Amino acid sequence: MAVDIAGVTARLAAVPDHAVTLSSIDYAWGSPATAGLWHASAVHPDGAEATYFVKLLRHPRLWPGLGQIPEGPLREHFASSFPWRFELEMALSGIGAVLPPGLRLPTLHHHEEFDDHHVGLWWEFVHERRGPWSVAEFTHVAQLLGRLAARRRAGAAANDALPDACRIPDGAALRYLVEGRVLHGAGADLADDELWRHPTLDEAVRTTGGPDLRDELRRHLPLLHEVLDELDALPQTYAHGDASVQNLLICDGEDDVVVIDWGFGSPLAVGFDLGQLLVGPMHAGLTPASEIERIHPAILEGYLQGLAVEGFDVDPEDVNFGYLGSLFARSLFTALPVAELRGSDSATLRRSVHERVALTRALLELTGPVVRDRLARSRARA
């Protein structure tokens, strides 16, 4: 069966095919499951317009980046187990009824099973407000995420309707990412002398005042398994999983925040979502790393308030480690734009590398002391 986005849109809106306009959305999506994004417009004879945000999901065997994973059992496991239909499954699970006041899902108008390897989703087209978030907005959204985490804590009845992809051990999704992308991928990058001699990276490391950055990352990398063990021992909750500003939409003329693109289906340590809330806009180049000093305490305070509103009594120190330990494991070692450094040089690349080096240093300064202290105390008790 052919993938006919325009034809399905015409049928859905009850208009002729020629009344449909598709505009591809230029967005650097990172998910292997995303095959395309479109703004679809269908104009009726009376001039009324129906608009949709259309996403095409694909089986990971069709992902162009599959070759980046070493051939053999690791690639086969990824291709056979990656939950590529998860976004649809979450929408159909009734998750909207679990959201606290102030969060909502976009309306899913339709989904189309094109074949065994492609599913199309016709979402409400949300008019997102442009521009950077204020600290007050970060705090507000963090509180909503805290309330959501509390409602979805381990053992909550709200979790009974979750998709089968969520029925995996605590922290399993984060462990999978750390074993592959971090320990295997970033570990190899740290060992790559040629990469670290790249003039652009070398200059950025020196000018940001952290010439020991590579050595410090190497020193902290072996702590990852202990950090994961500590995270698994914390109170667990089903988080959003990818709570960046790109997936929590502040909209024009609307008080509710629209939540999209759920990630990481396994239970995770309480506080997990704060890591992506902090670093997501910095990965996207929307917020400089220097803003960490303002955003970090605000979102931690907001999240704790959200937990309290829902009556989830958790030690703030545990929440802080769930947040910063997860950020350490997921984002610290992967913040550098390694793929771009292996391409052609440009002024844009130099600016990006400088900012990502600054971000890596800031994340190390934020998470390193907390991780080292927590692990030292855990070892002392053992």
Q: In 3D, which of 131, 78, 111 has the Cα closest to residue 281? A: 131
Q: What is the pLDDT of residues 89-107, one digit of tens each?
A: 999 999 999 999 999 999 9
Model confidence at 1, pLDDT cuts 50, 70, 90, reads low
Please compute the mean of the pLDDT values over residues 220-243 and round it to a whole number. 97
Q: Which residues contact 326 (CB under 8 A, 6 or more apart)?
A: 174, 231, 268, 269, 271, 272, 275
pLDDT of residue 358: 96
pLDDT of residue 107: 97
d(CA 290, CA 365): 12
Q: What is the pLDDT of residues 342-368, one digit of tens each?
A: 888 889 899 999 999 999 999 999 999
pLDDT of residue 317: 98
Arithmetic mean of pLDDT over the chain = 94
Question: DSSP code of 60?
Answer: G
Highest mean pLDDT among 20-29, 245-254, 322-331: 322-331
Q: What is the pLDDT of residues 48-97, one digit of tens each?
A: 999 999 999 999 999 998 987 888 988 898 899 889 999 999 999 999 99
pLDDT of residue 361: 96
Element (H, E) at 236: strand 236-237
Q: How far apart are the first and last CA of the chain?
A: 59
Tell me if 361 sits within 8 A of 332, measured CB to CB.
no
What does residue 256 show for φ and ψ, rounded to 5 degrees?
A: -70, 145
Q: What is the pLDDT of residues 17-33, one digit of tens each?
A: 999 999 999 876 678 99
Model confidence at 265, pLDDT cuts 50, 70, 90, reads confident
Residue ranges and CATH numbers for the domains of the chain are 1-125 (3.30.200), 131-382 (3.90.1200.10)
Q: What is the pTM of this model?
A: 0.94
Tell me if 114 sits within 8 A of 54, measured CB to CB.
no
Please compute the mean of the pLDDT values over residues 35-48 and round it to a whole number. 96
The region of weakest confidence among 140-149, 227-236, 256-265, 299-308 is: 256-265
pLDDT of residue 208: 86
Model confidence at 121, pLDDT cuts 50, 70, 90, reads very high
Q: In 3D, which of 235, 220, 217 has the Cα closest to residue 338? A: 217
Please compute the mean of the pLDDT values over residues 254-274 and round it to a whole number. 93
Q: What is the pLDDT of residues 168-214, one digit of tens each?
A: 888 888 998 899 889 999 999 999 999 999 999 999 999 987 789 99
Q: In 3D, which of 42, 40, 37, 34 has the Cα closest to residue 14? A: 42
pLDDT of residue 350: 93
Tell me if 353 sits within 8 A of 337, measured CB to CB.
yes
More confident residue, 345 or 45: 45
pLDDT of residue 285: 87
Tell me if 362 sits within 8 A of 331, measured CB to CB.
no
